[in-house]
Amino acid sequence: MRISSPRARVAMCALATASLLIPAVSQAARPPETAARIDAIIRTLFPADRPGAAIIAVKNGQVIFRKAYGSASLELGVPLKPDMVFRLGSVTKQFTATAIMMLAEEGKLSIQDPITKYLPDYPMQGHVITVEHLLTHTSGIQSYTDMPGWMTSKILADMTVQELIDGFKREPMQFAPGERFAYNNSGYILLGAIIEKASGEDYGRFITDHIFKPLGMNSSYYGTNERIIPRRVEGYDGSQAEQRNARYLSMTQPYAAGSLVSTVDDLARWDEALYTERLLKKPVLEQMWTPYKLKDGKPTDYGYGWTLSKLQGRRTVEHGGGIFGFTSYGLRLPDDHVYVAVLCNTTTPKADPGFLAKKIAAVLVGKPFPEPVAIHLSPEILEKYTGVYQIDKDTQRTVTVESGKMYSMRTGGERLEAKPQSETEFFYENTFTHGKFVMDENGKVTGMLMYQDGTEVPEHAPRVAGKPAERQVVAVDPAIYDAYAGEYELAPGFILTITHEGDKLMTQATGQEKVEIFPSSATEFFLKVIDAQLTFVRGPTGAVDAIILHQGGRDMPAKRRR
């Protein structure tokens, strides 16, 4: 379930290699050089005194790597162990989809059925929405996690399944079913309700009795806040420099879209079962791992509960998850019999779990990704790349140079360091994203090719302006900052805190790092690390009682709390 707080972007203490026997997955013959290579990828990312990760890598039924890094509880100083329990977030969806297909095999439902066969009161607004549309994120239903205010206030409330559905069912359709792909948590909430209707069992009980128990996944549960779950770890939000306890959410709400918890060991058992017919016949599994086609015949990159892609030329079946306090990724290469799971107890790991899983899997198939090496370029060379690059009519990328470093910032986005690896090529650290500057025959920079997340087809952005105009910092009396200091509520539970520190004005959003804001007038300020601006607004009495955040083409007011 994609319900994580905004991402922010280190000697390590490796904690515990493991000898726990995993049924159906042998641990014999761990190639030590492979394990060492994987450890080298990870070990600097998760210090012992920060949230960390549990990781497992399996090939041909043998555990090649199983290790944990970092802390399970910052307050108690408990180190993470590989057998500890994490929230999975949207990795839950593959279990929900499998449950649907198990019921279909039993003849208790058909994925071509309209959802009103099981949910007769659901308003389809003149359309026919099928179970398959829900599985493939093509229903056009409004995703409740995208509704304004839901993730900041409503997410706190315990809800029954029916109350959850009632919260989004009357929202306008976003498009006709089957016309587009749009990731949708509401669809998987409805699938959970359909499982209950078709089976006569509670969703959590069905998953436990028909999947977890038969596969020996004895450390996997429907996660609740109240239940005592042995070896469950704490989750964290915040910046790398300042971790905080994860914000509260009612675990009744992620439900069939994101409420399961598990361990890397149990996920390895799950993956191994998918090579058999213990749960589903192989043709049904292959159907789940086939890209769904839209009405116009174009394939999506999603099947039933899994994302479908390629890694180093190999077919992948994968999914990530993000939920308050946790991020996760499960990646299988079925033709190579490879599986990697990465479970993190923070929403802001130094490297994304999906990135780590892919790097590890590439090692297991013998095609490791080359490690980009940053080189030094003179300021004169870097300066010639500064400019504005037009991605589309609404989106630009600006390239700037500061203190000998090159930075790239997309409209409304975060400023990221672009590290040169040759005179024309650059990369972002701990991602697969890299780019290349394009020049004409005279050596003039004319554009940029950006390979997002390592895609083979680049995004081309022509250069439309030279050195971008810098926002001018005007001189103001820092004494005025006292009137601005306070807390401003953008949404319930999401606060912008403004502080006056020396001659600087600082801002910090809930769960994010504190950054300086710079005056462009006495009431207008801008950020350098994010493409955003703030306006301080005075009320009838002359006191500052609100701010307006300008970001990504939106103007978002925030009332002063204190």
Question: Rounded to an integer, what distance in angstroms lies between the CA atom of residue 144 and that of residue 167?
Answer: 8
Burial class (CB in 10 A: 0-12, 13-18, 19+), 363: buried
Q: How far apart are CA 84 and CA 299, in angstroms?
A: 38
Q: How far is CA 142 from CA 59, 95, 150, 217, 552, in A?
A: 39, 22, 12, 33, 21
Distances (CA, A) of 392 to 414, 446, 462, 479, 554: 18, 16, 10, 42, 18
Residue with tokens 């409004």: 142
Q: Is residue 499 within a helix (H) or strand (E), and if so which, with residue range?
A: strand 494-501
CB atoms within 10 A of CB 477: 8
Q: Helix, strand or coil for residue 147? A: coil
DSSP code string of 511-554? TS-EEEEEESSSSEEEESSBSEEEEEEE-TTSSEEEEEEEETTE
Domains observed in the chain: 90-261+280-311 (3.40.710.10), 379-465 (2.40.128.50), 478-560 (2.40.128.50)
Beta carbons of 528 and 539 less than 8 angstroms apart? no
The b/e string for 452-472 (b: 16+ C-beta within 10 A; e otherwise) is eeeeeeebebebeeeebeeee
* Contact call for residues 53 and 343 (beta carbons, < 8 A): yes
Give the number of other Cβ atoms within 10 Å of residue 300's Cβ.
16
- Tens-binned pLDDT, residue by residue, of the chain (562 aa): 433 333 332 222 222 223 233 444 444 444 678 999 999 999 999 999 999 999 999 999 999 999 999 999 999 999 999 999 999 999 999 999 999 999 999 999 999 999 999 999 999 999 999 999 999 999 999 999 988 778 877 888 999 999 999 999 999 999 999 999 999 999 999 999 999 999 999 999 999 999 999 999 999 999 999 999 999 999 998 877 788 899 899 999 999 999 999 999 999 999 999 999 999 999 999 999 999 999 999 999 999 999 999 999 999 999 999 999 999 999 999 999 999 999 999 999 999 999 999 999 999 999 999 889 999 999 999 999 999 999 998 899 999 999 999 999 998 888 999 999 999 999 999 999 999 999 999 999 999 999 988 888 899 999 999 888 778 899 999 999 999 999 998 876 678 899 999 999 999 887 677 889 999 999 999 998 888 999 999 999 999 999 999 988 888 898 998 7
| Neighbouring residues of 205: CB distance < 8 A, sequence distance ≥ 6 | none
Query: Of 503, 501, 489, 473, which Cα lies nearest the Cα of 549?
Result: 489
Helices (DSSP H) in 373-528: which residue ranges? 379-383
H or E segment to which residue 41 belongs: helix 32-42
Rounded Cα gap, residues 249 and 328, in angstroms: 18
The whole-model pTM stands at: 0.83
| Residue 414 backbone phi and psi in degrees, to 5 | -90, 145
**Angle in degrees, 0-180, between the axes of helices 185-199 and 92-105, rounded to the nearest 10:** 40
Q: How far apart are the first and last CA of the chain?
A: 33
